[in-house]
Structure 1
């Protein structure tokens, strides 16, 4: 029977209620797992980070209390486990699917669980890639409209509760049709990609750049007032003009018109701020293009 257990393709841990590694079987393939047999006899409290220990103990207790199987997914790397840092095995973070169920007998007077840990990293990476593809514009790698609306819904809910400011910038490329007609659509696509790269360099990590449609883009700026967003918009306007000329040649004179607004206490949905920045951007175009206009309630 022991030979059969050790031939299993995935590691099978026996963990006691107090967190002792009482046994380990299986997981012979070092392409997917590290050899953790040296952990047997150790307590998880001595070899794992405190937050990981708390999470494991919680699920051991859940399986024991339910007296049945529970399934979990979790990331863990060898660098987080004392004693495995220099062991042969896969690099980086590994995603596991855990099957946890009560062990049928006491171990040293303690209740225990069987914890089967299956490496599901390839599946998780594929899921992340598919999620990224569903939320990203394939040409510019900016967020798409779907992702923008999801993010704005979350920000709007937080704004209604905590009143943290959220500003928005909408802009598009001036005379983009003329640019496409003169230089061709492939060059137009290159301009859009270059523009997106320039914007990302100017934004913070928690800001969101989204392609709203065609040559129109929206930037969401959390914890930012409209007044602050105007400064950001001016910086982006200048960076786009100089950056595209630098990357694509002086003949490529590209300018953008930008509208700015923020969430207001009177808003009943996030669509209202999108409507305001659209109107402000239109005002920028009417005023001569290549400028920033902040939405005014008087408009």
Structure 2
């Protein structure tokens, strides 16, 4: 009877060992890289990563711990997922961003240069390996490089929030950013201003010189304006010839100063291929956020100021006070 049991156990162990070998062989053949972690975060084995354009060899990680290799917040999260997969017996998934330069134990030549500093996105798939021969319980972490997908997603987000003619933000992006900035301005009691801009006599330009001239005017004027804005400012096309500029950390006087500079720079814009004699101008309405005011209220007051600027002769700025 004991011989039968021993034979059965031997057969079972042999089958499990064969299954593990098959799994490791399969992983080695895949382009993606995989890691075997134990429940203490030890790199037990590094497998695969045959696609050298997407992965750097991780063999130097074997025998070290997650916290030796990765930034602490990411190492903490990875170890938590490994332990959850081991305890629950269920697949865990996560998306994370990592630069080769951030992995401390990789070779120096891999961590430097453009490749080392470029952000890479990965999808981690973590599942337990209950039959793996190791002193602690282990899990398999398959890291799939999803950077191309993330880049495509970013591209389409940009397209969805960008005006195709001028390359500036569109109305949807303005409103999303504006509500964030209003909330931040109220929370920290910081100033926030908004400029509403209308291109003077735009319809007359279109009627006299054609829509191609009008399109070129829009592009040239917005490029000129963008050239004197800060990175934190946001210019958006809100209508046909209407634009808005959101100005974080900008009070009433700062908004007026920028408005005057915008008026000056637009007066220098020319359309040599369409109407060399045309002198382009804009009208600006400026408003600064009041205590407890919503973005709708700020925008309404900037619109009213713009109306006053146009009513008083155009090519000027009118403020909310």
TM-score (normalised: structure 2): 0.83
The CA distance in 2 between the partners of 1:266 and 1:8, in whole Å, is: 57
SS at match of 2:54: coil
2:299 equivalent to 1:274: yes
State the Cα distance separating 1:18 from its structure 2 match: 3.0
Q: Tell me the equivalent position of 1:291.
A: 316
1:43-192 to 2 correspondence within 5 Å?
43-64=65-86, 66-81=88-103, 82-87=105-110, 91=115, 92-104=118-130, 109-192=135-218
Residue number in structure 1 paired with 2:3: none
Alignment-derived partner of residue 24 in structure 1: 46
Q: Which residue of 1 aligns with 2:62?
A: 40
The separation in 2 between residues aligned to 1:235 and 1:61, in whole angstroms, is 59
User: Could you tell me which of 238, 263, 283 is aligned with 1:257?
Assistant: 283
**Is 2:272 aligned against 1:220?**
no
* Contact 2:252 2:287 survives alignment (8 Å): yes
Where structure 2 has 5 or more consecutive residues not aligned to the other structure, the ranges are 1-21
Structure 1 window deviating more from structure 2 (75-84 vs 24-33): it is 75-84
Provide the C-alpha distance between the structure 1 equivalents of 2:195 and 2:170, rounded to a whole number of angstroms.
Answer: 15
Change (3 A) 1:19 1:211: same
Query: For each residue in 1:59-101, what CA deviation from the matched residue of structure 2 results, as whole angstroms up to 9, or x when unmatched?
Result: 334444544222111122222224245349x933221111123
- Contact 1:170 1:216 (C-alpha < 8 Å) held by counterparts: yes
Whole-Å separation in 2 of the counterparts to 1:163 and 1:247: 46
Q: 1:4 to 1:70 in 2, by over 3 A?
A: closer
Quick check: 1:34–1:84 contact (8 Å CA) kept in 2? no
What's the offset of the Cα at 1:149?
1.1
Could you tell me whether the CA contact under 8 Å between 1:78 and 1:85 is conserved in 2?
Answer: no
Shift of 1:212: 0.7
The answer to whether the 8 A contact 1:16-1:107 is kept is no
- Secondary structure, counterpart of 1:245 in structure 2: coil
Q: TM-score, normalised by structure 1?
A: 0.88
Q: Tell me which stretches of 4 or more aligned residues in structure 1 moved more than 6 Å.
A: 246-249
Give 1 or 2 for the bigger CA radius of gyration.
2
Between the aligned partners of 2:53 and 2:320, the Cα distance in structure 1 is: 57
| Structure 1 residue matching 2:307: 3-state secondary structure | helix
RMSD: 2.5
Q: Is the 8 A contact 1:168 1:219 kept in 2?
A: yes
- On the 8 A contact 1:168/1:218 being kept in 2, the answer is yes
**More helix per residue: 1 or 2?**
2
Q: Partner residue of 1:13?
A: 35
